[in-house]
Amino acid sequence: MAVLQVEKYGSPILRKIAKPVTDFSDLDLLVNNLSETMIEQEGIGLSANQIGVDKAVFVIFLGHIDESSEEQVKMYVNPKIIDKNGLCEFEEGCLSIPDIRATITRAEEIYVEYETIDKIKYKEHLTGLLARVFQHEYDHLNGKYFTDYLSTTKRSILKKRFVEITKNGKPSKSVTL
């Protein structure tokens, strides 16, 4: 297991649609690396493409969502959102876009499908923060950033910060929109 470098805004892999997992034989190491990196970076979720791996996999740190959860980190392989209901606003940030936060509107509840490392398929109904984090990480697997949901005006405000992240790995100052 290892803590790996998180890809930053501007990295081409973050705009690619992740490849579905067909070979499950090496997922243990990937999931462990994702989990360690996410926890070390103090994230709540992390997708495989954020560590440079082109696979449709992400992990969510349930300990940040529900402290009573027996399962600390949950992994999702080949996830899909099959239905959405309601809308809610919440401030988001991202390990790939450090020091930038913005209020984003997402579905309040979602119905999802995914596989586990053992190739078992599940369907779940997610609400609240877990639904939000799932949508955020799912977007990563589809080549989207949370900032893509901002208005053109707000994105133009962040343009200088995006250039700084691409060049230096972080902006010169924090921004919250």
pLDDT single digits (tens) 20-64? 999 998 899 999 999 999 989 989 999 999 999 999 999 999 876
3-state class (DSSP) for residue 57: strand
Closest CA to 94 of 30, 159, 145, 152: 145
3-state class (DSSP) for residue 109: strand
Residues 23/56, Cβ–Cβ less than 8 Å: no
The answer to the question of residue 113 being in a domain is: yes
Catalytic, 137? Answer yes
Domain that holds residue 127: 12-176
The answer to the question of residue 157 being in a domain is: yes
Number of domains in the chain: 1
Residues 165/145, Cβ–Cβ less than 8 Å: no
Torsion angle, CA of 116/43/141/70, rounded to 10 degrees?
Answer: 20
Confidence bin at 85 (pLDDT 50/70/90): very high
Which one of the listed residues 7, 92, 115, 137 is annotated catalytic? Answer: 137
Q: Are strands 57-61 and 97-115 parallel, antiparallel or unpaired?
A: unpaired
Instruction: Read off the pLDDT of each residue in 121-127 and give the average, rounded to a whole number.
Output: 97
Answer whether residue 177 shows pLDDT above 70.
Answer: yes
Q: What is the phi/psi pair of residue 52, to 5°? A: 85, 15
State the DSSP string of 114-148: EE-TT--EEEEEEEHHHHHHHHHHHHHHTT--GGG
Domain harbouring 100, CATH code? 3.90.45.10
| Helix (H), strand (E) at residue 79 | strand 73-94
- pLDDT, mean over the chain: 92
Could you tell me the pTM of the whole model? 0.92
